Protein backbone atom coordinates (compact mmCIF):
# COMPACT_ATOMS: atom_id res chain seq x y z
CA UNK A 1 0.00 0.00 0.00
CA UNK A 2 1.61 3.32 -1.01
CA UNK A 3 2.11 5.69 1.87
CA UNK A 4 0.65 9.16 1.59
CA UNK A 5 3.19 11.83 2.51
CA UNK A 6 0.56 14.03 4.21
CA UNK A 7 -0.16 11.47 6.95
CA UNK A 8 2.06 10.90 9.92
CA UNK A 9 3.42 7.42 10.59
CA UNK A 10 1.15 6.59 13.56
CA UNK A 11 -2.01 7.31 11.56
CA UNK A 12 -0.81 5.20 8.62
CA UNK A 13 0.23 2.30 10.89
CA UNK A 14 -3.26 2.22 12.44
CA UNK A 15 -4.82 1.36 9.09
CA UNK A 16 -3.02 -2.00 9.02
CA UNK A 17 -4.63 -3.21 12.26
CA UNK A 18 -8.31 -2.61 11.48
CA UNK A 19 -8.78 -6.20 10.27
CA UNK A 20 -7.22 -7.58 13.44
CA UNK A 21 -10.09 -6.58 15.74
CA UNK A 22 -11.56 -9.54 17.59
CA UNK A 23 -14.88 -10.83 16.31
CA UNK A 24 -17.17 -11.91 19.13
CA UNK A 25 -18.72 -15.03 17.64
CA UNK A 26 -21.63 -17.01 19.03
CA UNK A 27 -20.51 -19.83 21.33
CA UNK A 28 -22.44 -23.10 21.03
CA UNK A 29 -22.17 -26.65 22.32
CA UNK A 30 -20.56 -28.92 19.73
CA UNK A 31 -19.84 -32.65 19.66
CA UNK A 32 -16.30 -33.22 18.35
CA UNK A 33 -14.76 -36.45 17.04
CA UNK A 34 -10.98 -36.83 16.88
CA UNK A 35 -9.41 -39.95 15.33
CA UNK A 36 -6.00 -41.08 16.47
CA UNK A 37 -3.82 -44.08 15.64
CA UNK A 38 -2.17 -45.65 18.69
CA UNK A 39 0.79 -48.02 18.27
CA UNK A 40 1.03 -50.70 20.96
CA UNK A 41 3.12 -53.86 20.96
CA UNK A 42 3.79 -53.94 17.18
CA UNK A 43 0.16 -53.30 16.25
CA UNK A 44 -1.84 -50.20 15.47
CA UNK A 45 -5.25 -49.39 16.82
CA UNK A 46 -7.52 -46.55 15.77
CA UNK A 47 -9.08 -44.68 18.66
CA UNK A 48 -11.91 -42.17 18.24
CA UNK A 49 -12.16 -39.59 20.98
CA UNK A 50 -15.59 -37.99 21.42
CA UNK A 51 -16.01 -34.81 23.43
CA UNK A 52 -18.55 -32.05 23.95
CA UNK A 53 -16.98 -28.63 23.63
CA UNK A 54 -18.11 -25.03 23.87
CA UNK A 55 -17.14 -24.01 20.36
CA UNK A 56 -17.13 -21.26 17.75
CA UNK A 57 -17.85 -21.97 14.07
CA UNK A 58 -16.88 -20.13 10.93
CA UNK A 59 -18.16 -20.75 7.43
CA UNK A 60 -15.78 -21.03 4.47
CA UNK A 61 -16.85 -20.89 0.84
CA UNK A 62 -15.01 -22.27 -2.18
CA UNK A 63 -15.66 -19.79 -4.95
CA UNK A 64 -14.80 -19.65 -8.64
CA UNK A 65 -14.40 -16.42 -10.56
CA UNK A 66 -13.19 -16.39 -14.18
CA UNK A 67 -13.02 -13.36 -16.46
CA UNK A 68 -11.77 -13.09 -20.03
CA UNK A 69 -9.15 -10.68 -21.43
CA UNK A 70 -11.80 -7.95 -21.76
CA UNK A 71 -12.76 -8.32 -18.07
CA UNK A 72 -16.09 -9.89 -18.96
CA UNK A 73 -17.29 -12.38 -16.35
CA UNK A 74 -17.21 -15.93 -17.73
CA UNK A 75 -18.07 -17.73 -14.50
CA UNK A 76 -18.83 -16.60 -10.97
CA UNK A 77 -20.09 -19.34 -8.67
CA UNK A 78 -19.86 -21.00 -5.30
CA UNK A 79 -18.35 -24.46 -5.64
CA UNK A 80 -18.79 -25.68 -2.10
CA UNK A 81 -18.73 -24.88 1.59
CA UNK A 82 -17.13 -26.10 4.79
CA UNK A 83 -17.34 -25.19 8.43
CA UNK A 84 -14.38 -24.92 10.77
CA UNK A 85 -15.03 -25.33 14.48
CA UNK A 86 -12.64 -24.36 17.27
CA UNK A 87 -12.87 -24.47 21.04
CA UNK A 88 -14.21 -21.22 22.48
CA UNK A 89 -11.44 -21.24 25.10
CA UNK A 90 -8.68 -21.21 22.47
CA UNK A 91 -7.31 -18.46 20.24
CA UNK A 92 -5.81 -21.16 18.00
CA UNK A 93 -7.93 -22.81 15.31
CA UNK A 94 -5.47 -24.81 13.22
CA UNK A 95 -7.02 -28.09 12.13
CA UNK A 96 -3.75 -29.91 11.35
CA UNK A 97 -2.28 -28.75 14.67
CA UNK A 98 -5.20 -30.33 16.53
CA UNK A 99 -6.84 -27.11 17.67
CA UNK A 100 -9.81 -27.13 15.29
CA UNK A 101 -12.24 -29.49 13.60
CA UNK A 102 -13.82 -29.64 10.15
CA UNK A 103 -17.57 -29.90 9.92
CA UNK A 104 -20.04 -30.47 7.10
CA UNK A 105 -22.43 -27.69 6.23
CA UNK A 106 -25.94 -29.04 5.61
CA UNK A 107 -26.86 -27.29 2.36
CA UNK A 108 -28.49 -28.62 -0.77
CA UNK A 109 -27.37 -27.95 -4.34
CA UNK A 110 -29.96 -25.18 -4.76
CA UNK A 111 -28.12 -23.14 -2.12
CA UNK A 112 -24.90 -23.13 -4.13
CA UNK A 113 -25.91 -20.54 -6.66
CA UNK A 114 -24.18 -20.16 -9.99
CA UNK A 115 -24.18 -16.90 -11.91
CA UNK A 116 -22.93 -17.09 -15.48
CA UNK A 117 -22.61 -14.33 -18.06
CA UNK A 118 -25.56 -14.35 -20.41
CA UNK A 119 -25.72 -13.25 -24.03
What are the pLDDT digits (tens) for 11-57? 556 555 556 677 788 999 988 888 888 887 888 888 888 889 899 98
Residue 77: what pLDDT?
Answer: 86
Element (H, E) at 12: helix 9-15
Identify the DSSP state of 14.
H
Which is higher by pLDDT, 40 or 117?
A: 40
What are the pLDDT digits (tens) for 57-102? 888 888 889 999 999 999 888 888 888 888 888 888 788 887 888 8
- Rounded CA-CA distance 114/112 in Å is 7
> Is the pLDDT at 117 greater than 60, yes or no?
no
Amino acid sequence: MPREESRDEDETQGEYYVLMERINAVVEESVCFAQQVVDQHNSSQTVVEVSTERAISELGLFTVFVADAENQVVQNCCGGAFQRVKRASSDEGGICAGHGFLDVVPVDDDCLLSVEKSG
